[in-house]
Amino acid sequence: MAHSTPGSESVTTKLDMVQQFVDLAGEHLAGEPALENARTLAERSADRLRLARGFTTIALAGTTGSGKSSMFNAFTTIDRSPAGILRPTTSEPYACVWGSLTFADELLDWLGVSSRRRFTRESALDANDEVGLRGMILLDLPDVDSVEPRHRAEVDRLLHLVDVVIWICDPQKYGDQLVHEGYLRQLASSREGLIVALNQTDRLQPAQLPKVGADLRQLLDEGGLSKVPLVPTSATGEVPQLPPAKRGPIKPKPGPFVAERSTRGHSGVSALRALLEPIILRGTLAEESVDRDLTASIADLGKLIGGPASPPTINPLVRGLSSAGTDAARIEQTIQAYAASASVGLPGPWARAVEQAARSRLHELPAALGQAVAFADAQRPRRNWLPGGKKRADQKTEFVLRAEIDKVALRYVVEPVRRALAAYERARTSLT
Ligand SMILES: Nc1nc2c(ncn2[C@@H]2O[C@H](COP(=O)(O)OP(=O)(O)OP(=O)(O)O)[C@@H](O)[C@H]2O)c(=O)[nH]1
Ligand SMILES: [Mg+2]
């Protein structure tokens, strides 16, 4: 992988660490949430770093009818994503690239945007109109609260992949619990690039806007999103003149939401652009997000490691198996005791992995131990009528049996446990 941007070495190193840990521990900790999350993240991060790093992907997300497609059209100035009255309108994502479609192709394939729903603003860039947005890929997503469950699944998939999310709220549903608890809080905790737009502000009475705006701001602050910018917008064309209020015009209190009101339409789009342009110009948000995700993943994986492993002595295992004979319950007890001594000091998931390794050939043990006894008997000296002969024959049989049980213990129990412990040790050192 060729990386050229500053800081790329550390992000590559972090990716290597996570990938290595997943490779080493994968077989033993399969199904462990921290490991499975790390596996998914490592794949996603490797893809995102490989694909068109100069682009910043920005998704318009929100509930149905909030105005995502209208905002997409306001940004692109070409009505490419149908906005509509029937709900939900958008069933698949649309993308507009401020740059060459060819260069963005692979990234758009990865995002899963169909080629029929890809557009470009390249000509506007040539005319220097929108040069500040060069490198932006704007996505119009389906709704999150759809009657169509696949819309929500599609949005959830894409929200993990994009670099910035502009969450479009409307004055009716801005307090929706699904939005705040199910999405905004999670998004804010996992990414830098989150902006909330209070859309359809033209539908509010002038006096209502500051109140609704302050209410939404408070909801965001209470959810720990005080750093997330809130921009009042109107995505449709001309903003209709509001009928005069009965008791004369109510003077809105001065505040950030008052200044934003515009009668020229597309109010707030320029405020959104002003927030996006520095991010796009820097062009490193994708890498920063990957870096941040990997750092969090390494911390998470850290919980899966503890002190160094110390392989236990084999003697109690061999003694236990010798006296267990072919009694399955006693064999199992012996194995459990060995697994417990092998996992001293290991964190829970690895202790379980060691136990699993110790038990992996449990069902084969009674037969293998039976064969060991038969083999030792077959080796028993025949001339044991001579003086002291029986004692010598017993000793020899005992000796042969012990050597056979040693082999059985090694092959069926100790080796699988050693493999698990070696993987643990290598995984442990890969993170330090
Ligand atoms: N007055 C006003 N109407 C708007 C605004 N934004 C969108 N609308 C209207 O609201 C309706 C829904 O807009 P869409 O842009 O289709 O909403 P969406 O969020 O894309 O909806 P889904 O695709 O169903 O998720 C349309 O009739 C738009 O014209 C706005 O800022 N002001
Ligand atoms: Mg739409």
Going by C-alpha positions, the residue among 237, 229, 254 that lies closest to residue 164 is 229
Distance 85 CA to ligand 1 centre (A): 7
Ligand 1 within 6 A of CB of 343 = no
Stretch (H or E) spanning 164: strand 164-169
Task: Verify whether ligand 1 is closer than 6 Å to residue 143 (CB atom).
Answer: yes
Cβ of 235 closer than 6 Å to ligand 1, yes or no, is yes
Over its C-alpha atoms, the chain yields an Rg (Å, rounded) of 33
Residues 6+ apart with CB under 8 A from 227: none
CATH class of 54-282: alpha beta
- Answer whether residue 61 shows pLDDT above 50: yes
pLDDT of residue 167: 97
Least-confidence region, from 59-68, 78-87, 142-151 = 78-87
* CA-closest residue to ligand 1 atom 7: 67
Produce one character per residue of 146-185: b if its CB has 16 or more CB atoms within 10 Å, e if not: beeeebbebbeebbebbbbbbbbbbbeebebeebbeebbe
Model confidence band, residue 247 (pLDDT cutoffs 50, 70, 90): very low
DSSP line for 276-343: HHHHHHH--HHHHHHHHHHHHHHHHHHTT--S---PPPSHHHHHHHHHHTT-HHHHHHHHHHHHHHHT
Tell me which residue has tokens 């359809």.
Answer: 200
Q: What is the pLDDT of residue 205?
A: 87
Looking at per-residue confidence, does 98 or 388 come out higher? 98
Ligand 1 close to Cβ of residue 81 (< 6 A): no
Bigger pLDDT: 89 or 167? 167
Which residues have their alpha-adjacent CB atom under 5 A from ion ligand 2?
68-69, 89-90
Q: What is the pLDDT of residues 180-208, one digit of tens each?
A: 999 999 998 877 789 999 999 989 888 88
Q: Give the residue, by CA position, lying nearest to ligand 1 atom 32.
A: 200
Ligand nearest the Cα of residue 87 is: 1
Q: Is 200 in the pocket of ligand 1 (CB under 6 A)?
A: yes
Q: Please tell me if the CB atom of residue 66 comes closer than 6 angstroms to any atom of ligand 1.
A: yes
Output the pTM of the full model. Answer: 0.77
Strands 230-232 vs 193-198: parallel, antiparallel or unpaired: parallel
What is the pLDDT, as a whole number, of residue 415?
Answer: 96
Asked whether residue 387 carries a pLDDT value surpassing 60, the answer given is yes
Condensed to tens digits (0 to 9), the pLDDT of residues 353-362 reads: 999 999 999 9
- Statement: residue 8 has pLDDT above 60: no
pLDDT band at 286 (very low <50, low <70, confident <90, very high): confident
**How many whole angstroms separate alpha carbon 276 and alpha carbon 101?**
20
Between residues 366 and 149, the one the model is more confident about: 366
Cβ(154) – ligand 1 distance below 6 Å: no
Query: Residue 47 carries which side chain, given as an amino acid letter?
Result: D
* Residue 74 CA, ligand 2 centroid: distance in Å: 13
Report pLDDT digits (tens) over 84-112.
666 667 889 999 999 988 999 999 999 99
Q: Is the CB of 19 under 6 A from ligand 1?
A: no
Residue 242 pLDDT > 70: no
From 70, 174, 212, mutation site for ligand 1 pocket: most ligand atoms within 8 A of C-beta: 70
What whole-number distance in Å separates Cα of residue 156 and Cα of residue 385?
Answer: 82
Is the confidence at residue 376, as pLDDT, over 50?
A: yes
Tokens of 27: 């077989």
CB distance 90 to ligand 1 below 6 Å: yes
* CA-to-CA dists, residue 250 to 245, 254, 257, 377, angstroms: 7, 12, 15, 105
Q: Establish whether residue 202 lines the binding site of ligand 1, counting it when its CB lies within 6 angstroms of any ligand atom.
A: yes
Q: Taking 60 as the threshold, does the pLDDT of residue 1 lie above it?
A: no
- Domain residue ranges of the chain, discontinuous segments joined by +: 54-282, 315-430
Any ligand 1 atom below 6 A from CB of 68: yes
User: Which SS3 state, helix, strand or coil, does residue 97 take?
Assistant: strand
The finding on whether 84 has its CB within 6 A of some atom of ligand 1 is yes
Please give the pLDDT value at position 238.
46
| Ligand 1 atom nearest to 234, measured from its CA | 31
Are the beta carbons of 406 and 318 closer than 8 angstroms? yes
Q: Average pLDDT for residues 107-135, to the nearest whole number?
A: 85
Q: Residue 9's pLDDT is what?
A: 53
pLDDT-derived band at 5 (thresholds 50, 70, 90) equals very low
Q: Give SS3 for 197.
A: strand
d(CA 204, CA 209): 6
Q: Cα(243) to centroid of ligand 2, in Å?
A: 29
Q: Which residue's alpha carbon is at the smallest distance from atom 30 of ligand 1?
A: 200
Say if CB 168 and CB 68 are below 8 A apart: yes
CB 397 within 8 A of CB 376: yes
Question: How many residues in total does the chain contain?
Answer: 432
Which is it for strands 164-169 and 94-97: parallel, antiparallel or unpaired?
unpaired
State yes or no: pLDDT of 128 exceeds 90. no
State the Cα–Cα distance between residues 128 and 109, nearest whole angstrom.
28
Backbone angles phi, psi at 8, to 5 degrees: -70, -30
| Ligand 1 probe mutation, 60, 63, 69, most atoms within 8 A of CB | 69
